[in-house]
Amino acid sequence: ETLAAETGAVPVSADIAEDDDVAHLVGAVEAGGGIDTLVNIAGGARGADWVADAKTEDWEWMLRVNVVGTMKITRAFLPMLRANGHGTVLNLTSVAGLVSYEGGGGYNAAKFAEHGMTRALRLEEAEHNVRVIEVMPGLVKTEEFALSRLGGDAAAAERVYEGVEEPLSAEDVADVIRYAVTVPHHVNLDDIVIRPVAQAAAHKLLRKR
């Protein structure tokens, strides 16, 4: 509601993995005149356990939200995007879908799957003039992500970013998304990897003490 007041957006509460909620969302969008761009940003991580200690409920949640939810929303809106003639789908994934790491097995599995789904979608929708973009951020410091992943442990969440002078911000990622979906439609920025300079690679993160 706060965002709606600031931007004029129309808020619709929905669980993207529930068919009835997705149908309600599509109906609300159709009533508002439809869309030409779908930005899939719902997702997240739960837990940092190694596979040997994996919690089934965490893995099921990550696959349900990141993969099945993205599929359901995309499937529901594709007819509208095709009919528009110049549709765009942008999936916000993660560099966790490119490189695995200890304690990331469940999130890696979800984001690798979402990465593969995005690539397949690009091949399938080109003939409908629907461009498909993937944005893959590295270390982004937000109030929610690490805190949610680590079960609300604020101290553990803060250690994720400890010593990193300038991690990415949500605004940084939003700027890239805005650019990617507003360039001329014949331009498709297939895969965009965003990292802070301090994160030269998945295995190299500079921390200053």
**Catalytic (active site) residue 107:** yes
Q: Which two tokens stand for residue 178?
A: 């805005």
- The CA distance from 25 to 135, in Å, is 24
Among the listed residues 91, 107, 76, 75, the one whose alpha carbon sits nearest the alpha carbon of residue 40: 91
Buried b / exposed e along 64-98 (16+ C-beta atoms within 10 A): bbbbebbbbbbebbbebbeebeebbbbbbbbbbbb
- The CA distance from 59 to 63, in Å, is 6
Q: Which residue bears the tokens 């940092």?
A: 48
Q: Which of 101, 107, 161, 179 does the annotation list as catalytic?
A: 107
User: Strand 191-194 relative to strand 131-137: parallel, antiparallel, unpaired?
Assistant: parallel
Q: Which residues pair with 140 in a beta bridge?
A: 168
Helix residue ranges, H only, the chain: 2-7, 19-31, 56-62, 70-84, 105-125, 145-149, 154-160, 170-182
Q: Which residues carry out catalysis?
A: 107
